[in-house]
């Protein structure tokens, strides 16, 4: 056999090996269309967009299907044993990206569901602000506690925080006092918005005038990322609970109960989960950076 013939024979053997390797697993289904073959060819390879085109694909394939297994055999077969099961991190309820919330361990976070008891807050479209605030706050509480934070709630039921008959100022001061007494690292007040114009919708986050907007910015972008709500941004404000808390504080306006569509969302459990998750990730990112 001369060199030319030997070369031809080797080429045919190689091609036959490729075809057999591709078709063998596919023949089981008896449905080896062109797409299946191409899929089988491309599957074990690195993305072809990295360059090399079809040649790269073929060489990668040859290595993965023929050379790789051979090398494994000679290498003692250690890589043929199944790898230990990978423990996946818990999937957040929203299905959003998993973030490392370890930074929250030991942090004291006061969560303040706005209004409650004799003061329902904004009432519109068959929903009360105080109920939505509480529902999301409880979900936020659970996420924060799961991450190891020490969460103090100003209320966990539909009630006033200050003693019965207190003024609005005393009611708000009672919430501020809880934050101060517990030496809170941050204070997070949860509210729903209202406007005479029912077309207005969206989420916004307030921070105390003259103080840092960092926490507000992280929480606001967390909410928008999770909910895709209209982004009404962050703004400085002089609300009582922002003005009188010593630690970094924010007041989240999750959405407008006066907007029919947003009022419906605010009462929806899945949407409430998304808001809570957005606030949670914002808080995590704030502590990661500060
Ligand atoms: Zn409110």
Q: What is the pLDDT of residues 251-271, one digit of tens each?
A: 999 999 999 999 999 999 999
Note the pLDDT tens digit of each residue in 60-76.
434 334 433 333 333 33
Show the DSSP H helices in 157-268 as ranges.
168-181, 214-227, 240-243, 260-266
Domain boundaries for CATH 3.40.630.40 within the chain: 102-289
pTM: 0.67
Compute the distance from residue 192 Cα to the ligand 1 centre, in Å: 6
- Alpha-carbon span 168 to 136, nearest angstrom: 23
Tell me what percent of the residues of the chain surpass a pLDDT of 70. Answer: 66
Q: Is the pLDDT of residue 13 over 90?
A: no
- Alpha-carbon span 211 to 202, nearest angstrom: 24
Asked if residue 250 lies in contact with residue 188, where contact means CB atoms within 8 angstroms, the answer is yes
36: helix, strand or coil: helix
Q: Is the pLDDT of residue 159 over 60?
A: yes
Compute the distance from residue 193 Cα to the ligand 1 centre, in Å: 6
Compute the distance from residue 245 Cα to the ligand 1 centre, in Å: 17
- Alpha-carbon span 113 to 97, nearest angstrom: 26
Would you place residue 44 in the very low, low, confident or very high pLDDT band (cuts 50, 70, 90)?
Answer: very low
Q: Is the pLDDT of residue 202 over 80?
A: yes
Fold for 102-289, please state it. Aminopeptidase (3.40.630)
Ligand 1 ion: Cβ-proximal residues, 5 Å cutoff: 114, 121, 191
In the chain, DSSP finds a helix count (H) and a strand count (E) of 10, 8
Q: Return the number of other C-beta atoms located less than 10 Å from residue 27's C-beta.
A: 11
Q: Is the pLDDT of residue 34 over 90?
A: no
Compute the distance from residue 286 Cα to the ligand 1 centre, in Å: 24
């Amino acid at each position: 056999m001369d060199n030319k013939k030997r070369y031809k024979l080797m080429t045919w053997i190689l091609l036959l090996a490729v075809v057999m390797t591709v078709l063998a697993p596919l023949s089981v289904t008896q449905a080896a269309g062109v797409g299946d073959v191409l899929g089988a060819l491309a599957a074990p390879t690195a993305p072809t967009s990295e360059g090399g085109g079809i040649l790269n694909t073929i060489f990668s394939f040859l290595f993965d299907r023929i050379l790789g297994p051979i090398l494994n055999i000679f290498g003692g077969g250690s890589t043929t044993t199944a790898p230990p099961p990978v423990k996946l991190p818990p999937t957040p309820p929203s299905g959003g990206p998993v973030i490392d919330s370890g930074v929250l361990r030991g942090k004291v976070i006061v969560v303040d569901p706005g209004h409650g008891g004799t003061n329902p807050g904004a009432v519109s479209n068959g929903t009360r602000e105080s109920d939505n605030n509480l529902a999301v706050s409880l979900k936020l509480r659970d996420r924060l506690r799961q991450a190891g934070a020490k969460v103090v709630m100003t209320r966990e039921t539909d009630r006033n925080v200050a003693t019965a008959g207190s003024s609005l100022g005393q009611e708000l001061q009672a919430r501020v006092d809880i934050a101060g007494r517990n030496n809170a690292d941050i204070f997070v007040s949860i509210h729903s918005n209202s406007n005479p114009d029912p077309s207005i919708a969206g989420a916004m986050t307030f921070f105390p005038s003259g103080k840092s907007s960092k926490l507000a910015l992280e929480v606001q972008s967390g909410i928008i990322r999770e909910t895709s709500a209209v982004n009404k941004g962050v703004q400085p404000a002089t609300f009582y609970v922002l003005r009188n808390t010593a630690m970094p504080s924010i007041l989240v306006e999750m959405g407008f109960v006066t907007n029919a569509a947003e009022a419906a969302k605010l009462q929806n459990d899945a949407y409430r989960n998304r808001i809570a998750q957005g606030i949670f990730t914002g808080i995590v990112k704030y502590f990661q950076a500060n």
